[in-house]
């Protein structure tokens, strides 16, 4: 049973997340010929205030990028 966990920063729409989940499911099915009913894919969303890169919170980085 293939298990795929995707970590994303919050902010995507329901439609974007659904499209990603469907695309990953298809990629797993096509690449390893896994039966569709055995493929599990889920998204772990991370709040912008709980993720840091190089000492900068994502919430601070994205605020700077939009100024």
**Residue whose C-alpha is closest to residue 25's, from 46, 44, 45, 6:** 6
**Residue whose C-alpha is closest to residue 45's, from 3, 2, 22, 12:** 12
Active site residues: 2
């Amino acid at each position: 049973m293939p298990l795929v966990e995707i970590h994303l920063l919050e902010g995507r729409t329901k439609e974007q997340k659904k499209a990603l989940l469907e695309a990953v499911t298809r990629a797993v099915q096509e690449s390893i010929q896994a039966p569709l009913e055995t493929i599990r894919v889920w998204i772990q969303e991370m709040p912008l205030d709980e993720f840091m890169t190089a000492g900068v919170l994502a919430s601070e980085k994205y605020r700077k990028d939009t100024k």
